Chains A and B, each alone.
Chain A
Amino acid sequence: MSRTEPQGQAVVDASGTAGQHSIAVEGLAKSYGDLVAVKGVTFNVDAGETFGFLGPNGAGKSTTISMLCTLVDPTSGRATVAGFDVVTQRSSVRQHIGLVFQDTTLDDYLTAAENLKFHAELYGVPRASVARRLADVMEMVGLADRADSLVRTFSGGMKRRLEIARGLLHSPRVLFLDEPTVGLDPQTRSNIWEYVTELKRREGITLFLTTHYMDEAEYCDRIAIMDHGSIVAIDTPEALKASIGEDRVELHTADDTAAIAALADRFGIDASVSEGAVAFHVAAGEQFVPRLFAELGVGITSIRVARPTLDDVFMTYTGRTIRDAEASSGDRLRSSPFMRARRG
């Protein structure tokens, strides 16, 4: 699949030169013993781009992000982030990235401001600018009035926003967001995205995120779909959807098995049962519906025709829906000692 530049987005990197990669990855792989978590992925992310890793849990997203953040050493391959090698220039990479993990990493017994000050000291933010910068990022995530509250009094959404503020505190060039909205309610999720979009506009940084929410992938300039440790497709959301070129049709029928057989016999269509409906892809779905009613020969109780979504893209490239993929794989890859998850 061809790689296209993000649409409607000026690609200008930190030094003002266009087109330089903010993240460059070549053949990056990681195995834990016999278990191959990431099977040699290659991709580039341009400065200022919002780049998303999409895939089910266990696809290798977190392991890849851990390697880019210098938390896990690659088994082979190489990667640079903000121009620094993730193995040989670890400190420099860490200095130039912000991290927001899917599990909270705040100290509940400190206030929000104390958490941020702790971070500023560890990252060597110049003392003279700490107070100003702290007020700035707290303002950005809408927590300015809660700076002196203990973090333990915060809701899940507020904690996540505070983590995002902290990730930005030292003015990183790349902000990594590992499942930034997992476990949050839809309202909070959409708020988080508002903040992220706004601060990206203000800070002009590269965003690298992982998600298994299809709708969130739409916020990205480009998406890499990951499955079983490999990147199976990489492009803009629009291009990915267009590449399928077919609409998704979902049928509820009197007899699903008969319907699937009939679809194969009469139309040569390969359908499958997904989430309780007979689903298949077909070009020009609306025009296909009258033929279906006339020729299927199995009672149809309801029908739905939809433009391709990223879920369809995922299904096309991996042969299953992301939810099915979730169900079949656990958290087997999160084995690093520092990565131990505490899922809410």
Chain B
Amino acid sequence: MTNSWTDIKNTDLVVVMGGNAAEAHPCGFKWVTEAKANRGAKLIVVDPRFTRTASVADYYAPIRQGTDIAFLLGVINYCIRNDKVQWEYVKNFTNAAFVVKEGFGWQDGLFTGYDEQKRDYNRSTWDYEIGPDGFAVVDETLQNPRCVWNLLKSHVSLYTPELVERICGTPKDKFLTIARMISECSSPVKTMTSMYALGWTQHSKGSQNIRSMAMLQLILGNIGVRGGGMNALRGHSNIQGLTDIGLMSNLIPGYLTIPTEREPSFDAYMSTRGFKPLRPNQMSYWQNYRKFFVSFQKAMWGDAATPENSFAYDWLPKLDVPAYDVLRAFELMHQGKMNGYFCQGFNPLLSFPNRKKITSALSKLKFLVVMDPLQTETARFWENHGANNDVDPSKIQTEVIELPTTCFAEDEGSLTNSGRWLQWHWPGGSPPGEAKTDAWIMAQIHLRLKELYRKEGGKVPEPIVNLDWRYKDPHEPTAEELAKELNGYVVSDVPDPSDPTKTLLTKGKQVVSFAALRDDGSTACGCWIYSGCFNEAGNNMARRDTSDPDDTGAYLKWSWSWPVNRRILYNRASSDLQGKPWDESRKLLWWDGAKWTGYDVPDIAPTAKPDTVMPFIMNPEGTSRLFTRAMMRDGPFPSHYEPFESPVVNVVAPKVRGNPVARVFRNDFEQFGDAKEFPYAATSYRLTEHFHFWTKHAHANAVLQPEFFVEISEELAKEKGIEKGGTVRVWSKRGSVTAKAVVTKRIKPLTCDGKTVHIVGIPLHWGFTGAARKGFGPNSLTPFVGDANIETPEYKAFLVDIEPVAGPVA
């Protein structure tokens, strides 16, 4: 989230698309209710199903899953055509005026530079024209036909209300009502918030779904203001933290990146990470990259990371592919190229697409280690459970080691919520049986490996034996010790440049924030964006002061939020070019003549002049981006693509299947179905009574929603002769499941390009362990393909067929 849950109360309009907050995030959704009750805010829901969020909406419109980009570009087109633009914001705070290189264009659904063989673009034309002064060329009059604004205007002109209806199945009048409601938020005194979740991410173009809305929010001037923002509701309780700390193939904590093999030396690595400003006087804060990186290396390898060995640069792995994401990992496993796998609190047998492939991949491993508080299906993938897990254990040679871990109630530490608040928690109960904390288990693995390398030698032992592990009890680092490392500390004294008798930084002290980090090895910091969470003032994440001056919803003294306790990102954009709030009744940060002041920690240098330094300090432009240059693989603007399995042909680009640059492994292409064979558009979703595959282990939740079902419309039920509560078989090109049929009015057939499209809803909470009845999940059916930029699997749009079958004998 750019903002926070409690900030939603400040909004005038809530748009829920790609999420269902009333069911999936009920206690956060209360802030929508607050905004409705106290500000007269309106709620719009656009979803294939009439969800519980829709049931309390002021306006609902249906949409076919996988067509959100067409809808949103349609809204942008509407705003531009009707002059519903926050012009001062767009001209100054976005890259609308930047001039794009000659040669860039878009035709037949593809941007310039497409290579069909490689399924990739040569993105060299997707960039700004650079002037003789070394800065990007801009045309503040927006007259240049190649400026971002004019390119955008032309790019979205295709998406008329009529085309939106053809693609999305959203009736034109409903689309126009919503476009009108949204466009009113272009007023500087009206804000809109976007609340979205996996309904937008789980598509082969998920990143561009989100970008489309982010662009719309910029055009309306809704980023950096109270009640505005792009608010990813997010899933698990610490999904934000795990992402921030970079537990991903290609990440270093704080969104730094793991080197590739094209960067053989630290100098080569840094040569593409200079982040030179693209406009005069801009902060381009990533210019501090080297300080964050060196401090991270010091946190990893302590005294062994020295200037002489380039701070142990060689000890980081160098990637040969963009990332070994989970889809690639399971593809390699399936090819027999992986031997070992660890699942820490993760249940891939039910979480990853094409379950048949997942089972087959796990069966080829030599060993699988599962660390979990609950008995997961993954740990038992080899166990026969009849139709629910039809395998022959004697044919599976994988050795499986299951380790019992503590759960939240038995562990101490911080979790980062979707609003970026790091909240500390304390244990309340003793672990059951022999369960141990994950930190203890990781320490044991590390200490044993280190011991083996010391005793036996082996390949490149240095990064393991030199890992900085100076904890009071090396067998179990405490949460406080680890949090202090994340915050960062001073490795060696740094003299004060103005008075050499004093020290600027004193060895052994916690750094106050990332502003103190250095690139010479004198500071260490595990995760620069978390710096400030546990400094010399103490554990800021444990703060519990509920004061909130003027009821802005900021709660600056409750827990701690990254970065530097800032609650609303880009908050300098809440004021105009003179530093005066756009909306006096909802002011957030303003210029007092000498410095920035307000209700939040300024997201700008405190004395940076308002008409000189622009608000988007992380970007070399100083502005936000309506055009992303070459930063995304599938285009500098979003463009409508159908899901890989779609009931209709892409009317914008009939020749293009799916996202043209999404990575598809060869065998998976053969496993895509088409609409002739599989006529119905399926989607997956969650229920309010369940959380993924955990709550089926909790008695109360297992009672509340005991059994796997699929949800279909009355029309489809009639057409197929399916009875309410009857049993159905649903199958795709990859698998088949049986389920109870829930026939509802919540789903209605859509008409897309003259064709009737029926939707099948498939919730995801059942498996073969726990207290609920045994069942299946959507992953038995879904395709093995991910988003082109970040490989999130396409769970929300795929094709199935359905038929009634005889139910189980009572």
Do A and B share a complex? Answer: no
B interface, CB within 8 angstroms of A: none
A interface, CB within 8 angstroms of B: none
